[in-house]
């Protein structure tokens, strides 16, 4: 197997990174692309944390990620081997974690907040994509996600945003923006703009990597 083409996709919380990825992946078959997410490499935290402990726990630090295992699994994929990983559920008791099977493919997508900050991982990337959004738009999206999907209160979301999310974005992600190959501004909640961008990038990759028109 030839070395796959490695794409790193990063964006701050609420930038619309997940929406971008869904649209982007729709351009390829499972045999053509695979995705490995930093979110599944958080070190486990106590399941019996109190609500106050959960609010104070800062997920937005590189030290909360098992970067060594993340790097190891990425290199396993690059070498052509399958990896198995239990998804991380952010201590949400209402979610039963799934066992993820990630198969190697000609295009490997690595996504996460710190992928440009983790130098051994950043050095593996052939293309770096930065998804960005205005802070007010990002906060609105973060509120919607955390209130519904992760069961946090409005107060908890705002505490984490002010004390964890924004400082981490400014320290561990924003400094790498100018060094990315593509910077995508995603302030709209409609699909047209993102669809056009993913159309363009996927067409480029189909020709360059997959040899298809």
Kindly report, residue by residue over 4-25, the tens digit of the pLDDT. Answer: 999 999 999 999 898 899 989 9
Structural contact between residues 85 and 73, judged by C-beta atoms closer than 8 angstroms: yes
CA distances from 49 to 4, 43, 46, 153, 200 (A): 41, 15, 6, 15, 45
User: In the CATH scheme, what is the homologous superfamily, with its name and number, of domain 5-208?
Assistant: P-loop containing nucleotide triphosphate hydrolases (3.40.50.300)
> For residue 74, what are its two tokens?
């990425």
Amino acid 46: pLDDT: 66
Amino acid 87: pLDDT: 83
- Show the low-confidence residues of the chain (pLDDT under 50): none
The CA distance from 17 to 63, in Å, is 22
Kindly report, residue by residue over 57-95, the tens digit of the pLDDT. Answer: 888 999 999 999 999 999 999 999 999 998 887 666 667
DSSP H/E element including 51 = helix 51-56
Amino acid 117: pLDDT: 97
Amino acid 5: pLDDT: 94
The CA distance from 150 to 95, in Å, is 9
Residue 95: count of CB within 10 angstroms of its CB: 14
Its pTM stands at: 0.88
Burial class (CB in 10 A: 0-12, 13-18, 19+), 30: exposed
Tell which residue, 39, 9, 14, 13, has the closest CA to residue 25: 9
The CA distance from 112 to 131, in Å, is 11
Residue with tokens 């490695």: 6
Domain ranges of the chain: 5-208
Q: Write down the H helix ranges in the chain.
A: 17-25, 51-56, 67-78, 119-122, 135-148, 154-160, 166-172, 192-208
Tell which residue, 13, 12, 23, has the closest CA to residue 143: 13
Strand-pair category, 33-37 with 83-86: unpaired
Amino acid 75: pLDDT: 97
Tell which residue, 5, 33, 31, has the closest CA to residue 21: 33
């Amino acid at each position: 197997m030839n070395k796959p083409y490695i794409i790193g996709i990063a964006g701050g919380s609420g930038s619309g990174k997940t929406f971008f990825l869904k649209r982007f992946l729709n351009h390829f078959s499972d045999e053509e692309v695979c995705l490995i997410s930093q979110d599944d490499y958080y070190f486990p935290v106590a399941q019996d944390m109190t609500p106050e402990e959960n609010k104070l726990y800062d997920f937005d630090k590189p030290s909360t990620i098992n970067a060594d295992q993340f790097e190891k699994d990425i290199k396993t994929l690059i070498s052509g081997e399958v990896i198995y990983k239990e998804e991380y559920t952010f201590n949400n008791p209402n979610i039963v974690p799934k066992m993820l099977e990630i198969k190697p493919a000609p295009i490997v997508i690595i996504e996460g907040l710190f992928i440009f900050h983790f130098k051994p991982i950043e050095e593996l990337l052939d293309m770096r994509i930065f998804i960005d959004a205005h802070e007010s738009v990002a906060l609105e999206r973060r509120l919607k996600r955390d209130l519904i999907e992760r069961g946090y209160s409005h107060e908890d979301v705002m505490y984490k945003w002010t004390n964890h999310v924004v400082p981490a974005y400014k320290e561990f992600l924003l400094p790498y923006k100018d060094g990315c190959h593509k910077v995508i501004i995603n302030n709209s909640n409609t699909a047209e703009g993102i669809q056009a961008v993913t159309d363009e990038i996927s067409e480029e990759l189909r020709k360059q990597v997959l040899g298809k028109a």
